[in-house]
Structure 1
Amino acid sequence: MTGRPAPAALPPPLRGRLGLAAALAALVVVVIGVLYSGHSRPGRADRWVIQPTADSVRPPWRYVALALDFFGEPVGAAMLVVATVTGCLLLRRPRAAVLVVAGAGLTVGTATLLKSLVGRTIHGDGNLSYPSGHTAFATALAFAVALLAADRLGLGRTAGTSLVFAAALVAGAAMGWAQVALGAHYPTDVLGGWCTGLAVMPATAWLVDRMADRRADRMVDRTADARRRERR
């Protein structure tokens, strides 16, 4: 035991801006959810982007979309999470590893709950679509990895925040494109999924740090008590 606290899951310089972004993202999720609650057809914004109910890509791009989609399915997602957690542990970042698991789980769980609450469907047959869980998961995972990278690189507030947003945007856009291209989601579902990831991850990272700090404080107190008893 060196007495040094483990590196934070949410670097202190990034907390303010990412917290504000999380609040704005949550607002977007709610607004879109209210607008499309109970709907079963694409909205005006969806039709402006693309006709979501028909496959819009053909090979070889269809194979790319299917590959991306696989990594949002349970098996593919589990593979990504295990690989990412392993990398975090090898880098001796236990809080980052916890964030990957907890963040991905809470993000997907939140998306699943919102689907039931909003009740938007696609293709009929009760296929709930808002928000996109695949997009939310990809965003959350990229968010966690980018937080780790920003901390290890020692990036400041602006550079670190930019890296996190860029990573989340690229991952969310890639997975979102695959979902719309395969006709699995409307474009607004994808936006809602991306914002769900942005809303959940900062809060989860803060909770991970809070719980880890409390545990570390209790261990320090126990060590101090043990040393006092030894001196008596």
Structure 2
Amino acid sequence: MTGRSARAVLPPSLRGWLGPVAALAALVVVVLGVRYADDSKPGAVDARIEAAVYGVRPPWRQVALATDFLGEPGGAAMLVVATVTGCLLLRRPRAAVLVVAGAAMVVGTATLLKSLVGRTIHDGNLSYPSGHTAFATALALAVALPATGRLGLGRTAGTSLVLAAALVAGAAMGWAQVALGAHYPTDVLGGWCTALAVIPATAWLVDRVADRLIDRTADAGQAERR
């Protein structure tokens, strides 16, 4: 493993797999967005899932509320600061940049999509895709990707770890959103896929910019020694 690949937040072993995954996720986001554009009612699948999940009682309601808080601005900021601090303590500055840039890109994309799609819930609140679910999934991906490289996992094990982290985080936040009636289940799926589409591209961009900065610094150092 070269020094450059060891520093990468998008491990080379995963690039061939995550590209198609990101493309498929983007396609799902678009298809669902077109399907539910300017809608204000749950679809058939939404209604079935909501019937089983919506209206949880204590103590599960408290769990749902606590999970939901982690997607609110205050809770999200706490998670980002804690994660960035951990990355810096482990001397993984690229991972810290990915956490901040990834969260910002995903939340920004979800916010833009909400305005474009125009799906609403509860008195006209824009709902598609779920920003809470997108954020939670994005944070899990931003941690799992560099962790895969640091652990030296191969393509199969690394991809499994990354997708499992995304699934657990997205499912937990998605459950809370549906249980509290904040989003339709398809909003949750859209948010999950938004993160899957955006984070790999953001990680690739972080690596590319960082590598160029390293190359420029090295070239400048060589020029000074001549």
Match of 2:71 in 1: 72
Shift of 1:148: 2.2
Aligned to 1:144: 142
Q: Which whole-Å deviations, capped at 9, do the CAs of 1:58-90 have from their partners, x for residues lacking one?
A: 110000000000000001000000000011111
Q: Aligned letter for 2:147?
A: A
Q: Which moved more, 1:60-69 or 1:148-157?
A: 148-157
Q: In structure 2, what is the equivalent of residue 211 of structure 1?
A: 209
Cα distance in 2 for residues equivalent to 1:56 and 1:26? 31
Deviations 1:95-151, CA, capped at 9 Å, x for gaps? 110000000000000000000000000012x20000000000000000011112211
1-side partners of 2:156 and 2:55: how far apart? 37
SS in 2 for 1:58: coil
Displacement of 1:51 in angstroms is: 4.1
Amino acid at match of 1:17: W
- % identity of equivalent residues: 78
Please state if 1:158 is matched with 2:156. yes
Aligned to 1:189: 187
Q: Which residue of the partner structure matches residue 12 of structure 2?
A: 12
Q: Which amino acid aligns with 1:13?
A: S
TM-score, structure 1 length as denominator?
0.94
In terms of mean alpha carbon deviation, does 143-152 or 212-221 score higher? 143-152
Counterparts of 2:54 and 2:223 in 1: how far apart (Å)? 66
2: distance between equivalents of 1:220 and 1:152? 24
- Paired AA for residue 61 in structure 1: W
Q: Quick check: which one's helix share is greater?
A: 2
Once residues 156 and 149 of structure 2 are traced to their aligned partners in structure 1, the CA distance between those partners, rounded to angstroms, is 13
- Distance (Å, rounded) in 2 between the aligned partners of 1:55 and 1:27: 28
Residue of structure 2 equivalent to 1:84: 83
Aligned to 1:112: 111
Q: Which runs of 5 or more residues in structure 1 are unaligned?
A: none
- Which residue is 2:32 aligned to? 32
RMSD: 1.5
Q: Which residue type is aligned with residue 106 of structure 1? A: M
Q: Per the alignment, in what secondary structure is the counterpart of residue 32 of structure 1?
A: helix
Specify every segment of 5 or more residues in structure 2 that has no aligned partner in the other structure, as ranges: none
Deviation at 1:48, TM superposition (A): 1.9
| 1:154-209 superposed Cα distances (whole Å, 9 cap, x missing partner) | 10000000000000000000000000000000000000000000000000000000
TM-score of the superposed pair, with normalisation by structure 2? 0.96
Alignment match of 1:130 (pick from 109, 116, 128): 128
Q: Is 1:43 matched up with 2:39?
A: no
| Structure of greater Rg | 1
Provide, for residues 34-54 of structure 1, a one-character-per-residue CA deviation record: whole Å limited to 9, x for no partner. Answer: 0000000001110121249x9
SS of match in other structure, 2:120: coil
